[in-house]
Amino acid sequence: MLKKLLFIAAVAVVNPFTLLADEGMWLLPFLKQQNTESLKKLGLKLEVDDVYSPDEVSLKDAIVVFGKGCTGEIISDEGLILTNHHCGYSWIQQHSSVEHDYLTDGFWSYSKSEELPTPGLEVRVVDRIVDVTDSIKAAVAENGNPMIAYDLTFLDKMSKRLAGKEFIKENPFVEVVTKPFYGGNMFLMFYQTVYKDVRMVGTPPSSIGKFGYDTDNWMWPRHTGDFSLFRVYTDKDGKAAEYSPENIPMKPKHHLPISLKGVKQGDYSMTIGFPGTTNRYDISEEIIHYRDIVNAARIEMRGVRLEELNKLMQASDKVRIQYASKFASSSNYHKNAIGMNRGVKKLSVIDSKLKAESEYREWAYANNMPQYAEALDNMITALRNIYPIKYQRQMITEGLSTAVEFSKVPNADALIKAIESKDKEAIEKEVKAYKGAYEKFNNKDYDAEVDRIVSKAMIKKYLSMFPAEQRPDIFSFIDKKYKGDTDKFIDDCFNKSVFADSVKFNKFMEKPSAKVLKNDLMLKYANSIREKVRDLAFASKAYNRDLTLAKQVYIEGLLKMREGTPVYPDANFTIRLSAGQVQPYQPADAISYNYYTTMEGIMEKEDTTNYEFFVPAKLKEIWQTKDYGRYAEADGTMFVNFISSNDITGGNSGSPVINGNGELIGLAFDGNWEAMSGDIIFEPNMQRTISVDIRYVMLIIEKFAGALNIIDEIDFVE
C-alpha cells in the first residue's frame, strides 16, 4: 500500500531527494514511527507520545486553529489563548474606532468582565485524526470519476458518512474534515471541536505588535512584540457553545507552561501548528508559473493598490482604521512575492528542479515504470496550456476584482427574476436576502471614496497590460459610451449606482426595479468581471484536470522511488510538527546574524518621524530603568526576538515554539527574507523562523500593561 511507504518528495535545493535534519512539516500520527530518532537527536526530552497520542492527553491538545488562517496555543487552565498580533489584527480592528483606537493604543482587560466578545471569531481544537485512505479510494473507484477525490462536496459527504449520522447529530460543535495528502495518494480525516465564544483579552499597541511594520516585515534582525491574547468560553458543562454571558472560561485538556529559562544557541525548538500551503512537490514548470503568474500579479497589481491606500490611510484616522487589516494582508504577500521570486533566482531553484526531474525520468525508465515519466511530461503539457489563461485570470482577480471593491456588489439575478415574476411573496423573500448581502458588501470597513480613487488607478493599470480582445466586456461598453474614459465611468458608478451608498440603496429597495438593476453601472461592471472569470475558469478546466491526475501519478512515482524513507506531505492547513534548533545564520559574505535581538535594538531603530519605528513612552521608560523583572537574562539583557531552524510557512503564524521539556519559549511569527522561496524549497543554511521570546511577551503584559490578572493565571517554569 502506498500509505505504508512514508514518503519522500522533491524538497531539497541541491539534491531534491535528500532528507535534511531540520526540514519537515510532519504529520502527527506518524511521528513515532518516522521521527523518534531525529527528534531525540535534536534535543527532545519528552517521549514522542507526550507530543501526540491518539488516546491520551498530549501537547497537541494545547494547540488551536485561530480564526481562519493562524495558529494559537492555550496557556492557562482558563482557556487563555496566545497568538500573533497580526493574527488577531482583523479582530482588534473590528473592535476599534476613532474613539476606541485599539490598533494604536492597545487594549487590556483587567478582569474577565472587561473581555470583549468577538462575533465571528472561532477557535478549533483537533480531537482525533483517522486514516481513511482506503474508504475514500474505494468510493472514488465506485464513482468512476477520479477527480471527485479533490471535490470538497464529495469529501464533506464522505466525512459525514464515515463519522456517522448519530455522531454528527449529537455533536453539533464538532467539525469533521477529510483532506488529501501526497497529491491524493493518502486521505486523513480530522475531528475538530469548534469553539464560537471567543473574547479579546489583551493586545499591545501596534507600535509594539507591528514594530517595524512593512520595512521590517520578513526581515532579520527583528524587534517586534507580535502577540495578542484571547480567551475561549464554553457552556457551564464545559462544552463548546454559541456566545452567552452565562458561559464560563474553557477548561482545556492541556495548556502550555511558560519557561523563563530563556534560549541559547543550539537549544531544541519545536513548533506545532497549522501551516497553510507549501509547494515542494512542484516541478520546474509549476515554479515558473508561480513566479510569472501568481507572484507577478501580486507584485504589479498590489503595488499600485498599496500606494493609493497608504496615501489615503495616512490622511485619515477613519480610513486608517477601516483599511488597516486589508492593507496589512495585501502588503504581506506583496512583499512575500517579491522575496520569493528573488529566492527562486538566487538559489537556482528551477535548475535544481530540472536536474531532479531528469534523474526521476532516468529512474522511471530504468525500472520499467514509464508511466511515471509520462506523468511528468503530461504535467508540463497541461501547465503550458494553462499559462495564458491563468495569467489573464490572476491579473483580473488582483486588479479588477479584489482591489476594485465594488466588484463585490451582490449578484441580482434572483431578485430580478422575482421582480419580473410579480410574485409578491418571492419578491419579499429576495428583497430580504439581497439587503443582507448588500450589508456584507457595504460594511463598516468599506469607504466608497477610497474605492473610487483606488478603482481608477487599478483599472488604468490593468488596461495598460492587456489588449482589448482579452478584456472583460465592460470595457467595450466603456469604450462605446464613455469613449474609453474610465475615470468618468467610475465617477458615474459612484454618483449614479443604487449601490453607491446605503441611503440610496435602501430607498431603491422600497420599490425595486428590474430595469434599474439591469442598467446599474456597478452591477454591470461586477457581472462582467464575474462572467470573464467564469469563462477563463471553464477554458482551463480540462487542462487542470489533466494536471491534477498527472501529478497524482507523478507523486506516486516519487514515493516509490524513495520507498521506506520518511517524508512529509505538502502543507494544507492541517496540524504539523517542525523540529529544529535555535541557530544564527550568515546571509551573505562577511555578514553574520546573531540568533537573538534585544531591547537595545528597539531603541537603536527608534524614529520619531516614522510611525513604523515609534517607541511608546512607557516602553522607553522600562528600557531606561531596566525594569525587566524576572524576564531578563542573568546579565540584565532583555531578549526580544530569536531565530531557529524550524520549517514553517503561512498558517504557522502564532505557533508555539516549545523546548525539549514541552515548555513554551516563544511565539513564531515570520520567516526570513533570504529564504522567501521556502514554500518551494527548504534551504537549511538560510531558512529561519523568527519568534517573539516568550519573556518579552510576559514583560509587556506585566510591566507595560500592568495586567497582573493575566500573569497570575499562567504557570511559569523558572
Catalytic residues: 86, 226, 653
| Nearest alpha-carbon partner for 538 in 435, 394, 437, 393 | 393
Judged by phi (left if over 0) then psi (alpha if -120 to 50, else beta), residue 706 lies in: left
Q: How far is the CA of 660 from the CAs of 64, 266, 279, 695, 703, in angstroms?
A: 20, 12, 29, 17, 28
Burial of 548 (0-12, 13-18, 19+ CB in 10 A): middle
- Cα four-point dihedral sign 109, 111, 116, 118: positive
* Max CA pair span of the chain: 80
Q: Give the integer Cα–Cα distance in Å for 450 and 32.
A: 54
End-to-end CA distance of the chain: 48
State which amino acid sits at residue 339. G
Report the phi/psi class of residue 346: left, alpha or beta, with left for phi > 0 and alpha for psi in -120 to 50: alpha
Are 521 and 527 in contact by the 8 Å Cβ rule? The answer is no
CA distance 138 to 140: 5
CA separation for the pair 179, 623 (Å, rounded): 48
Location of C-alpha cell 467564469: 534
Distance of CA 426 to CAs 54, 141, 423, Å? 51, 42, 5
3-state secondary structure 636-669: CCCEEEEEECCCCCCCCCCCEEECCCCCEEEEEE
Who's near 155: CB < 8 A, 6+ residues apart? 136, 149, 177, 178, 179, 180, 187
List the Cα angle 702/703/705 in 5-degree steps.
Answer: 70
* C-alpha angle 254-255-259 in degrees, rounded to nearest 5: 135
CB contact set of 618 (below 8 Å; sequence gap of 6+)? 704
**What are the residues facing 124 on neighbouring strands?**
65, 194
In degrees and rounded to multiples of 5, residue 188 shows phi and psi of -120, 145
